[in-house]
Amino acid sequence: MREPRDGELHPIGEVLAAVLQDGPDDVPIIDAEGLEFVQKALDDYLTQGRALLAAVDCVLTAAHLLEVEKHAEDAARDLVALVDRKEVIDALIAINKARDAERASAVARQADRFQQFTASESKRRAPGTEPADEEAPDGAVKLGNFHFPKRL
């Protein structure tokens, strides 16, 4: 399944929109068949790595909106239960471990670059940070060379 572009509804969102029904007092509900349909759609993302993150985000956002704006606590609780299944949690943990490994290698590369930078025996220094006992290069003016009277 492809990732949605900006402004497009995620495919899981389209599934959710299709299974939501009007309940009593205009409170949206999702029946057992609809929940099973959403679960199958969510399970399709379990092996797709980071695409699962967007799918889970869409389901949790829908659950939040149902609870807060539509006062459909039961439907929201059912959607959160779909995300809270062991298969989904294990897949999310695997994604986080893979991302941690990527971050660790990036940090190690940056640490190596920083070590090369700090370990170099270069004579280059920022202006004004050279030790006081070093001789100034020809043509340089050191502070204190010009003594002006304090009063004119």
For residue 144, the 8-state DSSP code is T
Instruction: Determine if the pTM surpasses 0.75.
Output: no
Q: What is the pLDDT along the chain (152 residues), one digit of tens a residue?
A: 455 566 688 899 999 999 998 888 888 899 999 999 999 999 999 999 889 999 999 999 999 999 999 999 999 999 999 999 999 999 999 999 999 999 999 999 998 888 877 766 566 666 666 566 667 677 777 666 666 666 66
Task: Using the CB atoms, write b or e for 9-43: b if 16+ within 10 Å.
Answer: ebbbbebbeebbeeeeeeebbbeeebbebbbebbb
Residue ranges of alpha helices (H) inside the chain are 11-19, 32-43, 51-68, 73-83, 86-119
CA 152 to CA 136: how far, in whole Å? 30
Q: CA torsion, points 138, 139, 140, 146, in degrees to nearest 10? A: 120
Residue 125, SS3 per DSSP = coil
Q: What is the pLDDT of residue 93?
A: 95
Q: What is the pLDDT of residue 88?
A: 96
CA 52 to CA 45: how far, in whole Å? 5
Phi and psi angles of residue 21, each rounded to the nearest 5 degrees, phi first = -125, 155
Q: What is the pLDDT of residue 24?
A: 85
